[in-house]
């Protein structure tokens, strides 16, 4: 059987006479609209073999904490139950993801993986490739247009990638067939963990309760679909006009679910198109063009998670102004505890700490102010990534890395020269107050609540 257009064969090894087909679940933690799982199920039925899904649960994922793991486990618990209805066993193994995949590949006829784009996810795939002795396939299920199909290089801006992606969207934006039930039953002993009690499961992995789970977001595909339904019915029509207003909350709130692969961007796009809402075009531009520009950035730029990734003009400008006098300088602890002079910034930080998600417009302002309040642009960059990755449910994600880089001039153009920022775009509180009802936003997020959700050790 030939792979579909989203599936790529990663090696030249044969499909063996193994005991099962192995699906290594990692980036697409769902059953619906999952091309990797669909391909694995078809292979399973074609070869008349059972299908085993394996997920490696490591407590040492960089920058991840109890909040992220709790949300992810809520989704995996739902996914495990949905897979059983397809006669597919999901074993959640307390091990590094690549180690879990390599271990269970020993008895597999072939391995199928979903696709993540960060450095660590790519290292995992290379590690498994080096260890296994059977055919290895990978499918891109978490973008509308596969990254290499969209562009063979890093794109300069949304404008340069938009026409390329738009030309390909009709070919890839297709309804996904339901994953076929597997005909052969599988009931083998694995080292899989019992995940019925999420708190006990996380305790066994050694994950400390350092950041509280979000009270605003519950993980899982069913929860993601509820959010999408509410967004389409109550927010999408005014999304184009009101999405930037922090006090209105017209966002979809889907980014945490997209980050963990609990919902497919293809499914979201098709549901939005089906609505025929006037806000659909603007939302789809954010979902497809902007989000996949971020994936392009992470895939092609090895420095995506540090200051070296920004354009030369921006880097020169910021460094040239690095000795400019700062009116305010804050430690990382002060920032983390929303203890600045700026009530708008404090409200945004509190929203992130409390809920695990910050309003997108405020996220831009929040990052710009950290540049203004840090001793150097390099320090600002690392502080932004630290706070974003620690508290955002969609942290450690291409969108987050692209958003941080945007604050420093990535995917943007030079502006008028000014202190500290040089030619990099500047944002101020007066602009927020002029455009939005910021007093309402501040009241929405009581800054005194933030400290109850974090434990800090002090210092930068």
Q: At the topology level of CATH, where does 303-453 sit?
A: DNA Cyclobutane Dipyrimidine Photolyase, subunit A; domain 3 (1.10.579)
Q: Is 24 helix (H, G, I), strand (E, B) or coil?
A: strand
CATH 1.25.40.80 intervals, the chain: 144-177+221-300
Structure tokens at 234: 């109550």
Residue 291's CB is within 10 A of a number of other CB atoms, namely 21
Q: At the topology level of CATH, where does 144-177+221-300 sit?
A: 1.25.40
User: What residues does 375 pair with on adjacent strands?
Assistant: none
The DSSP H or E segment spanning 222 is helix 221-234
The DSSP H or E segment spanning 90 is strand 89-93
CATH 1.10.579.10 intervals, the chain: 303-453
Prediction pTM value: 0.95
Closest-CA residue to 8 (of 109, 125, 107): 125
CATH 3.40.50.620 intervals, the chain: 1-142
Across residues 54-81, what is the average pLDDT? 95
Span 124-144, pLDDT tens digits: 999 999 999 999 999 999 999
Q: Of 106-120, 123-137, 156-170, 437-451, which gets the smallest average pLDDT? A: 437-451
Burial of 129 (0-12, 13-18, 19+ CB in 10 A): middle
The DSSP H or E segment spanning 93 is strand 89-93
Span 211-242, pLDDT tens digits: 999 989 999 999 999 999 999 999 999 999 99
Closest-CA residue to 202 (of 74, 101, 104): 74
Residue 273's CB is within 10 A of a number of other CB atoms, namely 13
Mean pLDDT, rounded, of the chain: 94
Residue 371's CB is within 10 A of a number of other CB atoms, namely 23
What's residue 1's pLDDT? 32
φ, ψ for residue 125 (rounded to 5)?
A: -65, -40
User: What residues does 114 pair with on adjacent strands?
Assistant: 139
CATH class of 1-142: alpha beta
How many angstroms separate the CA atoms of 279 and 240, rounded?
A: 5
Q: Evaluate whether 394 touches 255 at the Cβ level (below 8 Å).
A: yes
Span 291-324, pLDDT tens digits: 999 999 999 999 999 999 999 999 999 999 999 9
Residue 448, pLDDT > 80, answer no
How many angstroms separate the CA atoms of 28 and 139, rounded?
A: 10
Residue 432's CB is within 10 A of a number of other CB atoms, namely 20
Residues in the chain: 460
What's residue 184's pLDDT? 81
Residue 452, pLDDT > 70, answer no
Determine the number of helices (DSSP H) and then strands (DSSP E) in the chain: 21, 6
Span 357-405, pLDDT tens digits: 999 999 999 999 999 999 999 999 999 999 999 999 999 999 999 999 9
Alpha-helix runs per DSSP H in 85-180: 97-105, 119-131, 147-150, 158-172
Diameter of the chain measured on Cα atoms? 70
Q: What angle do CA 288, 143, 198 make, to 5 degrees?
A: 115
What's residue 4's pLDDT? 64
What's residue 177's pLDDT? 77
Q: Evaluate whether 108 touches 20 at the Cβ level (below 8 Å).
A: yes
How many angstroms separate the CA atoms of 4 and 38, rounded?
A: 10
Structure tokens at 299: 């895939």
Across residues 197-222, what is the average pLDDT? 93
pLDDT, greater one: 174 or 309: 309
Beta strands in 125-216 (DSSP E): 135-139
Share of the chain above pLDDT 70, in %: 96
Q: Evaluate whether 51 touches 88 at the Cβ level (below 8 Å).
A: yes
pLDDT, greater one: 177 or 415: 415
Half-sphere exposure of 29 (CA within 13 A, CB side): 29
What's residue 187's pLDDT? 77
How many angstroms separate the CA atoms of 264 and 276, rounded?
A: 19
Closest-CA residue to 159 (of 290, 291, 304): 290
Query: Assign residue 183 a region: left if phi > 0, alpha if psi is -120 to 50, beta otherwise?
Result: alpha
How many angstroms separate the CA atoms of 134 and 16, rounded?
A: 6
Q: Evaluate whether 143 touches 295 at the Cβ level (below 8 Å).
A: yes
What's residue 447's pLDDT? 58
């Amino acid at each position: 059987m030939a792979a579909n257009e989203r599936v790529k064969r990663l090696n030249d090894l044969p499909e063996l006479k193994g005991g099962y087909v192995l699906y290594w679940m990692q980036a697409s933690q769902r059953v619906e609209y999952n091309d990797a799982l669909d391909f694995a199920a078809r292979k399973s039925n074609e070869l008349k073999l059972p299908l085993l899904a394996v997920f490696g649960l490591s407590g040492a994922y960089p920058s991840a904490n109890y909040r992220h793991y709790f949300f992810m486990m809520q989704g995996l618990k739902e996914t495990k139950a949905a897979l059983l209805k397809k006669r597919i066993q999901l074993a959640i193994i307390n091990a590094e993801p690549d180690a879990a995949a390599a271990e269970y590949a020993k008895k597999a006829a072939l391995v199928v993986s979903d696709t993540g784009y960060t450095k660590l996810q790519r290292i995992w795939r290379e590690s498994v490739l080096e260890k296994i002795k059977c055919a290895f396939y990978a499918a891109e299920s978490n973008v509308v247009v596969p990254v290499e199909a969209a562009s063979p290089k890093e794109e300069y801006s949304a404008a340069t990638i938009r026409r390329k992606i738009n030309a390909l969207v009709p070919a890839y934006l297709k309804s996904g067939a339901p994953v076929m039930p597997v005909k052969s039953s599988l009931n083998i002993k694995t080292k899989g963990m019992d995940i019925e009690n999420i708190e006990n499961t996380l305790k066994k992995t050694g994950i400390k309760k350092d950041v509280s789970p979000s009270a605003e977001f519950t993980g899982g595909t069913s929860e993601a679909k509820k959010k999408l339904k509410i967004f389409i019915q109550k927010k999408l029509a005014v999304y184009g006009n009101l999405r930037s207003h922090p006090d209105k909350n017209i966002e979809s709130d889907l980014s945490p679910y997209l980050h963990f692969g609990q919902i497919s961007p293809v499914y979201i796009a098709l549901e939005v198109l089906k609505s025929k809402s006037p806000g659909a075009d603007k939302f789809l531009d954010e979902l497809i063009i902007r989000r996949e520009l971020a994936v392009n950035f992470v895939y092609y730029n090895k420095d995506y998670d540090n200051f070296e990734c920004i354009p030369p003009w921006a880097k020169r400008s910021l460094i040239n102004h690095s000795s400019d006098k700062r009116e305010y300088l804050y430690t990382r602890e002060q920032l983390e505890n929303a203890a600045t002079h700026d009530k708008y910034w404090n409200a945004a930080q509190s929203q992130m700490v409390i809920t695990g998600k910050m309003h997108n417009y405020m996220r831009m302002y929040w990052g710009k102010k950290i540049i203004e309040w840090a001793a150097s642009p390099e320090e600002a960059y690392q502080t932004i990534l630290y706070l974003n990755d620690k508290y955002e449910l969609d942290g450690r994600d291409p969108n987050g890395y692209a958003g941080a880089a945007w604050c420093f001039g990535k995917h943007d153009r030079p502006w008028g020269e000014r202190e500290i920022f040089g030619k990099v775009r500047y944002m101020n509180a007066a602009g927020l107050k002029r455009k939005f009802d910021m007093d309402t936003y501040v009241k929405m997020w009581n800054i005194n609540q933030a400290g109850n959700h974090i434990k800090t050790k002090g210092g930068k």
